[in-house]
């Protein structure tokens, strides 16, 4: 039995990972989460109290983090400010949580010699041209574009330095765009789905030709658990499920599933510095650790996700108005 500390475990991916641990392992889990606007206590509802507990706190609170890390066998670090658009309006919290928070965690793991898995993003590599035959690999140079991705890149570099200089037992994963239940309505797929469910139209940045490489959140969780168990210390693993789609293709699938005409969307002001394309080559993870995704069919996974949002209005509706008001203020509604 392992005691695992999951930072950001009340967020979209962290909560899915906690469910994965309860379902597939005998680990006892503590969640450390600040419960920012992005968190959902509801996402942890129904989990057995003897397996999962929640500590409300900040990953940048050094004494708290040192105490908690000392009580666990391993840490999986999801806690972050995660939305690019927010990082353009107010970068400060991204520096504080993503960089200073990771620093605090690393110091605690160094002190207690605790195993750490750091969850990061493919955005640290910048973007690819739409027609580039290459995909990101573990050897792609770092080239982040936004305050969010720059802060995540900074956190990755801290982890690498703490491995090399202090012998911290850490691994890193860089994953592509996740979709699935419990994702905040500020993000692309939930925003468009809930717009349509409310009788409105999807809002697509620029020309809608940007490409994202979609992976179901459950596949991200299984990959992180595989790396935590079997990954080599100091190594980076890219996580992806071959899910490249343009934003307009995704919108077309959402509109078709909800019975709306294919042209029933609006093009709105583009995001500043908008990355063109992300694409992951996850060969290392698949060949070295034997991981494969379960959700090979993006259309089926997206349809199930749309249905989930239709059935969980009570959860997202209270956040919808303020989220759309913030987009409207930026000319993106």
Return the active site residues: 122-123, 148
**Residue 308: Cβ-neighbour burial (10 angstroms; 0-12, 13-18, 19+):** middle
User: Nearer to ligand DAU by C-beta: 48 or 331?
Assistant: 331
The verdict on 247 binding ligand DAU (CB under 6 A) reads yes
Burial code (b: 16+ CB inside 10 Å, e: under 16) for 71-108 equals ebebbbbbbbbbbbbbbbeebeebbebbbbbbbbbbbb
* Ordered DSSP codes for 91-154: -HHHIIIIIIIHHHHHHHHHHHT-EEEEEEEGGGG----TT----B-TTSPP---SHHHHHHHH
CB 176, CB 243: distance < 8 Å = yes
Joined together, the tokens standing for residue 172 give 């890193």
Where b means 16+ CB within 10 Å and e means fewer, 11-34 reads bbbbbbbbbbbbeebebbbbbbbb
Question: What's the gap between Cα 238 and its chain centre?
Answer: 13
User: CB within 8 A of 229, min separation 6: which ones?
Assistant: none
Shortest distance in whole angstroms from residue 254 CB to ligand DAU: 12
One of 278, 295, 309, 316 touching ligand DAU (CB under 6 A) = 278
Range 137-176, binding ligand NAD (CB under 6 A): 152, 175
Q: Could you tell me the smallest distance in angstroms from the CB atom of residue 16 to ligand NAD? A: 8
Binding mask 167-186 for ligand DAU (x = CB under 6 A): ---------xx---------
The CB-nearest residue to ligand NAD is 11
* Helix residue ranges per DSSP H, the chain: 12-24, 62-70, 84-89, 92-94, 102-112, 147-166, 188-197, 217-230, 247-257, 283-289, 298-311, 313-329
Contacting ligand NAD (CB under 6 A), which of 60, 104, 228, 279? 60
Q: How far is the CB of 323 from ligand NAD (least distance, A)?
A: 13
204 binds, among ligand DAU, ligand NAD, none (CB under 5 to 8 A by kind): ligand DAU
Q: Which is nearer to ligand NAD, 25 or 96 (CB)?
A: 96
State which residue, 249 or 264, has the beta carbon closest to ligand NAD: 249
Binding partner selected for residue 84 from ligand DAU, ligand NAD, none, CB under the kind-specific 5 to 8 Å limit: ligand DAU
Residues ≥6 apart with Cβ < 8 Å to 118? 77, 102, 155, 156, 159, 170, 171, 172, 173
CB 37 within 8 A of CB 238: no
Cβ closest to ligand NAD, residue 181 vs residue 208 = 181
C-alpha 110/C-alpha 70 separation (Å) is 10
Q: Which does 156 bind (CB under 5 to 8 A by kind): ligand DAU, ligand NAD, none?
A: none
Residues 135, 212, 220, 320: which binds ligand DAU (CB under 6 A)? 212
Least Å distance between CB 49 and ligand DAU? 30
Examine residue 213 and tell whether it contacts ligand NAD (CB under 6 A): no
Segment 8-47, which members bind ligand NAD (CB under 6 A)?
Answer: 8, 10-14, 32-36, 38-39
* Binding status of residue 319 toward ligand DAU by CB under 6 A: no
- In sign, the C-alpha dihedral spanning 135, 137, 140, 146 is positive
Find the binder of ligand NAD among 4, 119, 168, 252 (CB under 6 A): 119
Contacts to ligand NAD by CB under 6 A: 7-8, 10-14, 32-36, 38-39, 58-60, 78-82, 97, 101, 119, 121, 152, 175, 177-178, 184
Contacts to ligand DAU by CB under 6 A: 82-84, 121-123, 176-177, 187-188, 191, 203-205, 210, 212, 247, 271, 278
């Amino acid at each position: 039995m392992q005691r695992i500390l999951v930072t950001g475990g009340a967020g979209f991916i962290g909560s899915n990972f906690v469910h994965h641990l309860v379902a597939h392992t005998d680990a006892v889990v503590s969640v450390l989460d600040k419960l920012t606007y992005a968190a959902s206590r509801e996402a942890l509802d129904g989990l057995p109290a003897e397996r999962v507990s929640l500590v409300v706190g900040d990953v940048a609170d050094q004494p708290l983090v040192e105490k908690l890390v000392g009580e666990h066998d391993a840490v999986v670090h999801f806690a972050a400010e995660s939305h690019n658009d927010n990082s353009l309006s107010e970068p400060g919290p991204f520096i504080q949580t993503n960089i200073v928070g990771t620093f605090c965690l690393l110091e605690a793991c160094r002190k207690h010699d605790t195993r750490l898995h750091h969850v990061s993003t493919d955005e640290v590599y910048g973007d690819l041209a739409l027609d580039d035959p290459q995909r990101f690999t573990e050897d792609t140079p770092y080239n982040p574009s936004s305050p969010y991705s720059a802060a995540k890149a900074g956190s990755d570099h801290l982890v690498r330095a703490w491995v090399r200089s202090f012998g911290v037992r850490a691994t890193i994963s860089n994953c592509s765009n996740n979709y699935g239940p419990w994702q905040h309505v500020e993000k692309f797929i939930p925003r468009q789905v809930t717009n349509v469910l409310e009788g409105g139209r999807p809002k697509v940045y620029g020309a809608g030709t940007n490409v994202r490489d979609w992976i179901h959140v459950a596949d991200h969780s299984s990959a992180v658990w595989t790396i935590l168990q079997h990954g080599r210390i100091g190594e980076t693993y890219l996580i992806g499920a071959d899910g490249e789609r343009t934003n307009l293709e995704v919108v077309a699938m959402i509109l078709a599933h909800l019975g709306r005409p294919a042209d029933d969307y609006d093009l709105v002001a583009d995001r500043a510095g908008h990355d063109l394309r992300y694409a992951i080559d996850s060969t290392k993870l698949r060949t070295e650790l034997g991981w494969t995704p379960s959700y090979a069919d993006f259309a089926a996974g997206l349809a199930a996700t749309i249905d989930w949002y239709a059935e969980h209005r009570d959860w997202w509706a209270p956040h919808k108005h303020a989220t759309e008001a913030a987009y409207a203020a930026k000319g993106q509604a």
